[in-house]
């Protein structure tokens, strides 16, 4: 029987804050396939996440097919806005939500990972980060700072992660990110520069696939997922209407489940996808193919 087997492999999933998003679902799918999984979460969400885990509030969501609970090798604090701890503004340093998080910069994460596991210790890198402070604003009203923040958080962070983690990855490694059809078609109201950030992420996927493929033998793909009620999506203010439109117009008139995206991520991370790189894979019930459903 052909199956996804990630036994003996280690993954890190960047952007897990709760059990509702793609990051958590992907971590679970990788665990089901046998991988050891580390996660990162935004520092202000770290305490809440750890408390929910310790109190058993996520036990139902963590339950694997064999009845055991998914566990994380490590849970790291990470704010993808900062390459180095020296880049962090004083106001953020003084924010109590960042207390006891150590070096939560991108470079700090990679150094701590190397300390914990050594070099040649990572097989799968997953990017599930999206944020735009002005996401509710039309592009015509988006400030330079809001636009650059959206691109920095949501697309450049993938570039920065591949830059830093690729040298630590074993041969045959894979990187996967999550994008959205707004990167290539207009989704009214998906503002603040987020559509541009997704377009950049998809183009960067192709360029990183070439550069990291030639230099490190790393495969890089992205999944264009349909709409889902997540923390990031809720910030739009109209996610329910997007989901209804998706269900109405898609060839397969169903609502997307995070597990459907997660299983494709596990496939892309596995040897079964060893010849796939530089690709945008649509997991949206075919919504991307439609112009008008009638």
Active site (catalytic) residues: 155, 198
| Helix-helix angle 194-216:144-151, to 10 degrees | 40
The helix/strand/coil state of 284 is coil
Residues in Cβ contact with 102 at an 8 Å cutoff, skipping those fewer than 6 apart: 77, 108, 112
**CA pair distance 173, 110, nearest whole angstrom:** 16
Q: Can you tell me the distance from the alpha carbon of 288 to that of 180, in angstroms, rounded to the nearest whole number? A: 10
Strands 122-127, 10-14: pairing kind: parallel
**Cβ–Cβ under 8 Å, residues 194 and 132:** yes
Give the residue from 27, 93, 95, 108 showing the smallest Cα distance to 61.
Answer: 27
- Give the span between the Cα atoms of 121 and 137, in whole angstroms: 42
Task: Please provide residue 76's backbone torsions phi and psi, each rounded to the nearest 5 degrees.
Answer: -105, 150
Closest to 12 (Cα-Cα) out of 152, 154, 156, 162: 162
Here the tokens at position 110 are 């990679």
DSSP state letter for 74: -
Residue that the structure tokens 């030639």 belong to: 214
Extended beta strands in the chain, E state: 10-14, 36-41, 75-77, 122-127, 169-179, 219-225, 280-283
């Amino acid at each position: 029987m052909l199956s996804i087997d990630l036994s003996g492999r280690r993954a890190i999933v960047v952007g897990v804050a709760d059990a509702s998003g793609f990051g958590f679902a992907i971590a679970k799918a990788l665990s089901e396939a046998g991988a050891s999984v580390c996660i990162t979460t935004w520092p202000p969400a770290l305490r809440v996440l750890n408390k929910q885990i310790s109190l058993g509030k996520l036990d139902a969501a963590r339950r694997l097919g064999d009845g055991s609970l998914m566990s994380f090798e490590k849970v790291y604090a990470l704010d993808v806005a900062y390459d180095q701890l020296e880049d962090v503004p004083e106001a953020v340093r003084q924010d109590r939500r960042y207390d006891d998080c150590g070096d939560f910069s991108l470079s700090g994460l990679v150094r701590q990972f190397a300390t914990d596991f050594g070099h040649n210790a990572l097989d799968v890198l997953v990017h599930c980060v999206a944020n735009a402070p002005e996401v509710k604003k039309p592009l015509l009203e988006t400030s330079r700072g809001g636009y650059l923040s959206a691109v920095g958080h949501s697309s450049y962070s993938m570039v920065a992660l591949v830059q830093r983690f690729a040298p630590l990855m074993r041969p045959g490694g894979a990187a996967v990110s999550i994008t959205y059809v707004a990167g290539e078609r207009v989704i009214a109201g998906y503002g603040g520069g987020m559509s541009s950030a997704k377009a950049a992420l998809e183009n960067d996927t192709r360029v990183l696939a070439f550069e990291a493929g030639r230099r490190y033998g790393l495969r890089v793909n992205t999944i264009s997922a349909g709409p889902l009620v997540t923390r990031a999506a809720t910030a739009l203010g109209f996610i329910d209407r997007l989901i209804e439109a998706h269900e109405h117009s898609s060839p397969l008139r169903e609502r997307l489940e995070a597990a459907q995206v997660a299983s494709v991520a596990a496939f892309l991370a596995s040897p079964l996808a060893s010849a796939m790189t530089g690709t945008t894979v649509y997991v949206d019930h075919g919504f991307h193919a439609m112009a008008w459903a009638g």
